[in-house]
Structure 1
């Protein structure tokens, strides 16, 4: 990663990666492809997390020697670029925008959330700068069309897309963490006792009042919808 002596995202040449994909060396045609390598890496990350994705592990998954992979992905950062764009291909949109840009933008966010929940490593991978590949660009093109009725200029539209993506990534990361807590009843109970003690200590009246208010539905879908509505309904297009 940047700053630790290893190749980083800033070392990737997007023209070579996306417009001039590296061809395998001359000789016997390999039994795998860049697509197969990327799919294997995605499957590995889905099952074991990003730390499990190494060139050696991926090579083993496709039945290749490690050195033979470097014609397709010279380092893990490049492989991550391929993985992110690969799963972006799952962001399928049916039909043109409806003209109701707020509703369409909420649909975009829900597609992103579903994709990130299928691939829990994705929010982490998106936390560093990525060079958009063809699948990502196709989805971005749709989002820009969704935002056309707003009258925002191009830079503002790109900012909205970045804002929505960052919100979804952060929310999904929180969802995943909360799901882990819910699988540990003792920890959840301990957190509840701690907050109750803090609310009763007299030093946090605002928090005490907030915690005493009627609860909201805690189902993940309902929670996401509430947060998303606040964000998108409050977007300023002036």
Structure 2
């Protein structure tokens, strides 16, 4: 059962703290990714025995839930200024992408556990409230939130994977140029002329794709 759905036992007098463990978990995930994350490695990072961690969390999955929600807290919520729903959500999604670029393990985790921590819920509430005020409700509202969430996590996951393998803009340009030459030698004329495979502007691609989704949402209002 997720940590967010359980009643927590009273905290013991700490030798460590849960906050320190979570901060170390985020650092370990940033350095090693999910594949390199273990309670033993986490204990070594905080200078404690592995079993001592279980005085503060019950399971490895608890630590992952807490680390993920900690990182959601880095996605700044809007200030007091009043913005149109579309501009506000576009800004929030750009902030989400920036956080997922800093923490490449985040997109993969978001699909595997309930996002029910306080930071995740505050940001989900913002999206639902803005789109509800814009005029959506019921399944259409849920579908719109899902489309936006899946777009940012999917785009950024692909972006993170690409740069982890390719590493430099120069290598990226070489691959794109090679793909363009290959397409021009095939019978796929639409791809060769319209796929824009040599476009290296990830920021622009993200913003344009987001505009397309927001156009579709706005058309339903």
State the TM-score, normalized to the length of structure 2: 0.85
Listed as ranges, the matches of 1:227-238 within 5 Å are: 227-235=209-217, 236-238=219-221
Is residue 2:81 matched to residue 1:91? no
Q: 1:91-122: CA deviations, max 9, x gaps?
A: 22233573511111101211211111121110
RMSD over aligned Cα atoms:
2.6
1:221 Cα deviation from its structure 2 partner: 2.0
Is residue 2:161 matched to residue 1:177? yes
Alpha-carbon contact 2:3-2:62 (below 8 Å) kept? no
Aligned equivalents of 1:177, 1:15: Cα separation in 2: 32
Poorly superposed stretches of 4+, deviation over 4 Å: 184-188, 213-216
Q: How many corresponding residue pairs? A: 219
Aligned equivalents of 1:23, 1:66: Cα separation in 2: 21
Structure 2, gaps ≥5 residues long:
none
1:76 Cα deviation from its structure 2 partner: 2.2
Aligned equivalents of 2:49, 2:174: Cα separation in 1: 49
Structure-1 residue corresponding to 2:203: 221
Listed as ranges, the matches of 1:1-238 within 5 Å are: 11-12=1-2, 14-16=4-6, 20-24=7-11, 29-96=13-80, 98=82, 100-180=84-164, 181-183=166-168, 185=170, 189-190=174-175, 192-201=177-186, 203-211=187-195, 218-235=200-217, 236-238=219-221
Aligned equivalents of 1:152, 1:175: Cα separation in 2: 30
1:125 Cα deviation from its structure 2 partner: 1.0
Aligned equivalents of 1:40, 1:24: Cα separation in 2: 19
Alpha-carbon contact 1:97-1:145 (below 8 Å) kept? no
Aligned equivalents of 1:96, 1:147: Cα separation in 2: 18
More helix by share: 2
- Higher mean C-alpha deviation, range 51-60 or range 175-184: 175-184
State the TM-score, normalized to the length of structure 1: 0.80
1:75 Cα deviation from its structure 2 partner: 2.3
Aligned equivalents of 1:214, 1:188: Cα separation in 2: 10
Secondary structure, counterpart of 2:214 in structure 1:
helix
Alpha-carbon contact 2:43-2:53 (below 8 Å) kept? yes
Aligned equivalents of 2:142, 2:61: Cα separation in 1: 24
Aligned equivalents of 1:33, 1:174: Cα separation in 2: 35
1:37 Cα deviation from its structure 2 partner: 1.0
